[in-house]
Structure 1
Amino acid sequence: MSERSPAPGGLALIEALLNTLDIASRADELERPDVRARFGIGEDELPAARELRESLRATLLAHAGHPPHAEVTPLGVLLARVPLVVEVAPADGSARLAPAEGGTLPARVAAAVAEALVAGTWTRFKACASDTCHWAYYDRSPAGRGRWCSMQVCGARAKMRRYRAAHRPVVQNATDAGSAD
């Protein structure tokens, strides 16, 4: 779980949604009515919100170089269902995609993705490479090649596992040890 600062712009909404599930403990904050209210979803919308959350997670894992998840509905399929409108500011003529009437969670997510695409921040938005974490984070590393939500926690654990595997003593097979030539 990350100690990083929140993702920029509308990605903060997506980051907050993804991080409602603690994969290690399987604790799902969307079970709580106050958390669902924060995202503007009712209990009847919970299955769709979870589907959206896992589709987003699969996409962010792909940003981090993981293979696609075949069992997850592709994000593009879910977002194609939501209506967005082009809002044009009369003062300066600037434009942006915004959720159509109602501003459902999927529409707000689609608008945030569109905003991130325009800003060039979408592909830096990733999920932690740790199989027991997959926490969403915004990669602020200079090269954009970060792999873990926290170098101090998930990164350190991964490096320690690699180190131990590389320095594990080689144990001879009992049959090999007794058959000296």
Structure 2
Amino acid sequence: MAGDAVTRQPGDREVAPGPLALVQAFVNSVNVEFGPDEFVTAEGLARWMERAGHPTDPSGITGADHRRAVELREALRALMREHNGGEYDPRARATIARIAEGCPLVFGFDTSGRPGLRPGREGVPGLLGRILGIVVEASVEGTWQRLKSCHDHRCTWAFYDRARNRSGRWCSMAVCGVRSKMHSYRQGLRTAPAAR
């Protein structure tokens, strides 16, 4: 993906490899803790799509398109929470399945002649189809499960866990990891029995 949306990551982490970087950037189109949300308007979504190499006219983005983009983003974030020890989320899966019905994928070849799944439509449905196709391919390759949502519930930034044992929990150990450990420490102090 072009642009700086995928180059700056917390904790100097590298972005997800290959096309999975687009999925990571899509989910990270909102900074949950501090803002902004790039998808707050159809124009913002169109600007993001332009940077992602999927240009579309903002006037062609319907309210339903806009809503589906936000819904897919949050459903994918929920699945990434599962990759980081979160609870199984059937509603996220149902949302993705519903959205996928309007975003067909077709067999095709990329510019190098490699076969794969390609969007069968243009505009927002094409972008969403492209993202879902990448998730399918990454699942087969075993890389999808490494794309996680930060374990800190205030953050939830999507990061790619490159640890050999897939033990990464936070997008940045220096920020979210320390903050989470301090929270656990304070909780421990509150629940510890008083010394006699």
Once the two structures are TM-superposed, the CA of residue 115 in structure 1 deviates from its matched residue by 2.3
SS across alignment from 2:135 = helix
2:138 aligned partner: 116
1:67 aligned partner: 87
2:25 paired with 1:4: no
- Report 1 or 2 for greater relative contact order, CA contacts < 8 Å, sequence distance ≥ 6: 1
TM-score, scaled relative to structure 1 = 0.79
Query: Structure 1 CA distance, aligned partners of 2:37 and 2:112?
Result: 43
2:43 paired with 1:37: no
Aligned residues of 1:59 and 1:75 also touching (Cα < 8 A): no
2:102 paired with 1:102: no
Map 1:147-162 to 2 at 5 A. 147-162=169-184
Deviations 1:99-158 (A, max 9, x none): 124262211111211221232201111101111011111111110121111111111111
Query: Structure 1 CA distance, aligned partners of 2:16 and 2:111?
Result: 29
Query: Structure 2 CA distance, aligned partners of 1:25 and 1:91?
Result: 40
Give 1:144's aligned amino acid.
Answer: R
Query: Structure 2 CA distance, aligned partners of 1:89 and 1:29?
Result: 28
Q: Cα RMSD over matched residues?
A: 2.8
Unpaired runs of 5+ residues, structure 2, are: 1-8, 50-55
Once the two structures are TM-superposed, the CA of residue 67 in structure 1 deviates from its matched residue by 0.9
Once the two structures are TM-superposed, the CA of residue 66 in structure 1 deviates from its matched residue by 0.5
**CA radius of gyration, larger in:** 1
Query: Structure 2 CA distance, aligned partners of 1:91 and 1:31?
Result: 35
Query: Structure 2 CA distance, aligned partners of 1:66 and 1:158?
Result: 15
Aligned residues of 2:170 and 2:176 also touching (Cα < 8 A): yes
Task: Pick the aligned partner of 1:86 from 87, 95, 107.
Answer: 107
Between the two proteins, what is the percent identity of the paired residues? 35
Q: How many residues align?
A: 172
1:139 aligned partner: 161
Unpaired runs of 5+ residues, structure 1, are: none
Deviations 1:63-92 (A, max 9, x none): 112113465444234224421111247987
Give 1:139's aligned amino acid.
Answer: D
Give 1:102's aligned amino acid.
Answer: E
Give 2:137's aligned amino acid.
Answer: E
Evaluate the alpha carbon distance shift between residue 65 and residue 31 of structure 1 in structure 2; reply closer, same or farther with a 3 A threshold.
same
